[in-house]
């Protein structure tokens, strides 16, 4: 018998016989309490089943059920169990494709003549429960590639065969299979030791999806599910889904009277209702103010331009599919703009420029139109006409880093004002196909990196994911429910200055080409407002609340006083409305509450006599009666804090 040494990181090694399982090894090294939570193991850095035999010296770490990795394994195993249940119930009708774990759950894709419906869930879940109860072990085995192909071919599992052939091409000559009960699946693993580990699970929805995400390949039927070690966690998760549903901006948008989308107008086109329009105006005002303070000048440009412009810019070539077809005006073709950049360049090229005036910073809330496929449209999040909070900066190469720094600075400030303090940042570098010199790419990629370092911004690199015209930084914000949204983007562009022959006179008296930076902070106002609605669940901070306060009288006696209060507060700059209907106070409070009004001003005889208002906050808290001036000051102070 050979002997091997095993250890957990940082602890003393033990000598054991070779061939013991990872589980037994953990038993040697850890207390019972510690290893009870182990669902799999990390052996010399590799994820392994607990049943895996150890043949060489091994540093072993338990993968705990409570860890992200543990959850991932559980859900992956749950996908296998679901597939087993489906195969057992629907047998030969079904071919299996792939079934990975994803964030918050897992899915499995099946090929079946008739798609699954949620009506099938009960039966599948029931069968899954039986499989769990049967405590079937997950057994791993490795098979030579040719045998594996033969095996799955015989089963008629053509998708597995296709996967195997791809692996074979990549030079793999053996694969691992996992079996629980009679169900055998191609899988890298690891898995839970046996099916009984799956304590709580739920199937969530069905959807179609292309085989390998390719729209030219067959459409499969996908079942999404989720799994947890604990019933309580499942319940928490389902509650979170409920919460997300309650915050759905389409629902809140209707309830709060913010926007509407109508068939008569067209899909993906937003009609802003008065409250939504005011909300948007407040956001736009803040944005313009912040930009002015950061050295930007404001531009306005048209919605259409000659088709030739889009030829020059290259949009017709590389973005034409997303553009609406041309309209003819005086026998000349014009097209709706999908982007604002060519117009800003037009402004630039209207005059001669010197290196002395750089950097030039121009911003615009520019409304663009892009063709989106019908299936992609979604409330405010994905529309066909939207307003970018666009800006273009033109500068010299030596100013690039500082400009990027300034943009990031403004960017983070704006995000913070809107209540987003958490984000993931990505740097996308040069792709395979690109324009511009290597030197330029290197210079600007470095400038992006150094600016982020200087700002102390942590980021991940997406190698080769840059746009063909330059490297970029993307910022994905995290909302109240922890979901991320891509909004901000900062892109260097070597392409358009070239195409439009942009120049400036340098210190040397010669003509040079400026560097161009595109950037958007909110991305699209429509989408950003959608995110804001869900982030705040419709209860906007005071500074952007379309209705900051609502006057509620108790009886008709106070009507005249209320009208006076209303007028005075409006004069003092408070966005105040009044509800003077002959209804009970409770009724009016309920309504104001459902509209998420930040402050309710309650006026009865007492207030009328004393010339005050009683303030009820939307969290139910009451403030002592105060004068109109005191309330107006409170509002303006809170607003200032909100946008500081």
Partner RNA sequence: GCCGAUAUAGCUCAGUUUGGUAGAGCGGCUGAUUCGUAAUCAGUAGGUCACCGGUUCAAGUCCGGUUAUCGGCUCCA
Could you give the residue numbers annotated as active site?
A: 341, 370, 388, 390, 392, 472, 518
State in angstroms the smallest separation of the CB of 606 from RNA. 4
Residue selected from 142, 622, 627, 637 as contacting RNA according to rule CB under 7 A: 622
Site string for RNA, 238-257 (x = CB under 7 A): ------------x---x---
Looking at the Cβ atoms of 190 and 379, the one nearer to RNA is 379
Give the number of other Cβ atoms within 10 Å of residue 150's Cβ: 14
Q: What is the DSSP letter of 556?
A: G
Q: What is the DSSP letter of 554?
A: S
Contact 371, 276 (CB under 8 A): no
Burial of 39 (0-12, 13-18, 19+ CB in 10 A): buried
* Residue 425 binds RNA (CB under 7 A): no
Residue selected from 604, 634, 636, 643 as contacting RNA according to rule CB under 7 A: 604
Residue selected from 57, 162, 372, 465 as contacting RNA according to rule CB under 7 A: 372
Looking at the Cβ atoms of 18 and 539, the one nearer to RNA is 539
All residues at 6 or more sequence positions from 99 whose CB lies less than 8 Å from its CB, including other chains:
76, 79, 80, 82, 83, 106, 107, 108, 109, 185
* Residue 9 binds RNA (CB under 7 A): no
Report how far apart, in Å, the C-alpha atoms of 342 and of each of 302, 491, 505 are: 11, 15, 21
Using the rule CB under 7 A, give the single segment among 146-154, 163-171, 439-447, 597-605 that binds RNA: 597-605
Looking at the Cβ atoms of 444 and 489, the one nearer to RNA is 489
Looking at the Cβ atoms of 529 and 542, the one nearer to RNA is 529
* Residue 374 binds RNA (CB under 7 A): yes
Looking at the Cβ atoms of 30 and 323, the one nearer to RNA is 323
Residue 43, both tokens:
């052996």
Looking at the Cβ atoms of 18 and 554, the one nearer to RNA is 554
Residue selected from 75, 344, 382, 575 as contacting RNA according to rule CB under 7 A: 382
State in angstroms the smallest separation of the CB of 401 from RNA. 23
Residue selected from 614, 626, 628, 631 as contacting RNA according to rule CB under 7 A: 614
| Range 164-223, binding RNA (CB under 7 A) | 205-210, 213-215, 219, 221-222
Contact 496, 368 (CB under 8 A): no
Contact 526, 345 (CB under 8 A): no
325 three-state secondary structure: coil
* Residue 638 binds RNA (CB under 7 A): no
**Measured between alpha carbons, how far is 278 from 544 in angstroms, rounded to an integer?**
9
| Range 491-520, binding RNA (CB under 7 A) | 520
State in angstroms the smallest separation of the CB of 375 from RNA. 2
* Residue 363 binds RNA (CB under 7 A): no
Sheet containing 46-48: order of strands: 14-17, 3-7, 58-64, 38-43, 46-48
Give the number of other Cβ atoms within 10 Å of residue 443's Cβ: 18
* Residue 595 binds RNA (CB under 7 A): no
State in angstroms the smallest separation of the CB of 109 from RNA. 9
Using the rule CB under 7 A, give the single segment among 151-159, 281-289, 486-494, 496-504 that binds RNA: 486-494
* Residue 388 binds RNA (CB under 7 A): yes
Diameter over CA atoms, the chain = 99
State in angstroms the smallest separation of the CB of 141 from RNA. 31
* Residue 580 binds RNA (CB under 7 A): no
Residue selected from 72, 315, 344, 384 as contacting RNA according to rule CB under 7 A: 384
Give the number of other Cβ atoms within 10 Å of residue 287's Cβ: 19
Looking at the Cβ atoms of 399 and 488, the one nearer to RNA is 488
Query: To which residue do tokens 């909302």 refer?
Result: 479
Q: What is the dihedral of CA 551, 556, 557, 559, to 10 degrees?
A: 40
**Measured between alpha carbons, how far is 396 from 514 in angstroms, rounded to an integer?**
6
Using the rule CB under 7 A, give the single segment among 65-73, 226-234, 299-307, 522-530 that binds RNA: 522-530
Looking at the Cβ atoms of 109 and 194, the one nearer to RNA is 109
Sheet containing 183-186: order of strands: 139-144, 174-180, 183-186
Residue 341, both tokens:
């950049």
Contacts of range 591-596, beta carbons closer than 8 Å, 24 or more positions apart: 592/550, 592/552, 592/618, 593/618, 594/255, 595/255, 595/256, 595/547, 595/550, 596/256, 596/537, 596/538, 596/539, 596/540, 596/545
State in angstroms the smallest separation of the CB of 135 from RNA. 32
Query: To which residue do tokens 């045998």 refer?
Result: 147
| Range 252-311, binding RNA (CB under 7 A) | 254, 261, 263, 267-268
State in angstroms the smallest separation of the CB of 562 from RNA. 12
Give the number of other Cβ atoms within 10 Å of residue 338's Cβ: 16
Residue 41, both tokens:
């193991």
State in angstroms the smallest separation of the CB of 590 from RNA. 3
* Residue 45 binds RNA (CB under 7 A): no
* Residue 593 binds RNA (CB under 7 A): yes
Which residues contribute to the site for RNA (CB under 7 A)? 115, 117, 205-210, 213-215, 219, 221-222, 250, 254, 261, 263, 267-268, 370, 372-379, 382-384, 386, 388, 486-487, 489, 520, 523-524, 526-527, 554-557, 582-587, 589-590, 593-594, 600, 602, 604-607, 614, 616, 620, 622
């Amino acid at each position: 018998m050979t002997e091997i040494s095993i250890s957990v990181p940082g602890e003393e090694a033990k000598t054991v016989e070779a061939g013991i399982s990872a589980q037994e090894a953990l038993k040697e090294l850890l207390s019972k309490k510690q290893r009870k939570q182990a669902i799999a193991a990390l052996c010399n850095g590799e994820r392994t089943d607990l049943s895996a035999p150890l043949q060489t010296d091994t540093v072993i770490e338990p993968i705990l059920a409570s860890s992200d990795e543990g959850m991932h394994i559980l859900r992956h195993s749950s996908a296998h169990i679901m597939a087993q249940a489906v195969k057992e119930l629907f047998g030969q009708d079904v071919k299996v494709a792939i079934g990975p774990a994803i964030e918050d759950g897992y899915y499995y894709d099946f090929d079946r003549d008739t798609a699954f419906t949620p009506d099938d869930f009960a039966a599948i879940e029931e069968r899954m429960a039986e499989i769990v109860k049967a405590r079937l072990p997950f057994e791993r085995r490795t098979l030579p590639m040719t045998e594996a192909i033969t095996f799955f071919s015989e089963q008629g599992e053509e998708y597995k065969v296709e996967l195997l052939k791809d692996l074979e091409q990549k030079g793999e000559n053996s694969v691992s299979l996992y079996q629980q009960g009679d169900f055998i699946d191609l899988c890298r693993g690891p898995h839970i030791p046996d099916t009984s580990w799956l304590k709580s699970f739920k199937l969530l929805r069905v959807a179609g999806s292309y085989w390998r995400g390719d729209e030219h390949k067959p459409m499969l039927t996908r079942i999404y599910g989720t799994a947890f070690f604990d019933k309580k966690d499942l319940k928490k998760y389902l509650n979170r889904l409920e919460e997300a549903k309650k915050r759905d901006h389409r629902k809140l948008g209707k309830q709060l009277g913010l926007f509407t989308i109508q068939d008569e107008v067209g899909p993906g086109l937003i009609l802003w209702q008065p409250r939504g329009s005011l909300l948007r105006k407040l956001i736009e005002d803040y944005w313009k103010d912040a930009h002015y303070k950061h050295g930007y000048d404001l531009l306005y440009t048209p919605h259409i331009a000659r088709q030739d412009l889009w030829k020059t810019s290259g949009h017709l070539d590389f973005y034409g599919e997303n553009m609406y077809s041309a309209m003819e005006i005086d026998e000349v073709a014009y097209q709706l703009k999908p982007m604002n950049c060519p117009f800003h360049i037009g402004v630039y090229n209207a005059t001669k420029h010197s290196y002395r005036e750089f950097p030039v910073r121009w911003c615009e809330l520019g409304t663009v139109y892009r063709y989106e496929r019908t299936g992609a449209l979604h409330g405010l999040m994905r529309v066909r006409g939207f307003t970018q909070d666009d800006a273009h900066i033109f500068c010299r190469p030596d100013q690039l880093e500082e400009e990027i720094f300034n943009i990031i600075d403004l960017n983070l400030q704006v995000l913070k004002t809107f209540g987003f303090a958490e984000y993931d940042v990505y740097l996308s570098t040069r792709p395979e196909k690109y324009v511009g010199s290597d030197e330029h790419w290197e210079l600007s990629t470095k400038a992006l990196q150094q600016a982020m370092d200087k700002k102390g911004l942590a980021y991940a690199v997406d190698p080769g994911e840059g746009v063909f015209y330059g490297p970029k930084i993307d910022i994905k914000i995290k909302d109240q429910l922890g979901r991320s949204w891509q909004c901000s983007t900062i892109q260097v562009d070597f392409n358009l200055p070239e195409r439009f022959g942009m120049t400036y006179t340098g210190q040397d008296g010669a003509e040079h080409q400026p560097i161009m930076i595109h950037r958007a902070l909110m991305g699209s106002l429509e989408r950003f407002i959608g995110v804001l609605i869900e982030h705040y669940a419709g209860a906007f901070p005071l500074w952007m609340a379309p209705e900051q306060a609502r006057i509620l009288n108790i009886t008709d006696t106070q009507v005249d006083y209320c009208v006076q209060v209303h007028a005075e507060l409006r004069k003092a700059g408070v966005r105040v409305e009044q509800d003077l209907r002959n209804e009970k106070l409770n009724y009016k409070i309920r309504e104001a509450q459902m509209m998420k009004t930040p402050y309710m001003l309650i006026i009865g005889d007492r207030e009328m006599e004393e010339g005050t208002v009683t303030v009820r906050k939307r969290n139910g808290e009451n403030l002592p009666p105060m004068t109109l001036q005191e309330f107006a000051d409170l509002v303006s102070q809170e607003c200032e804090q909100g946008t500081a």
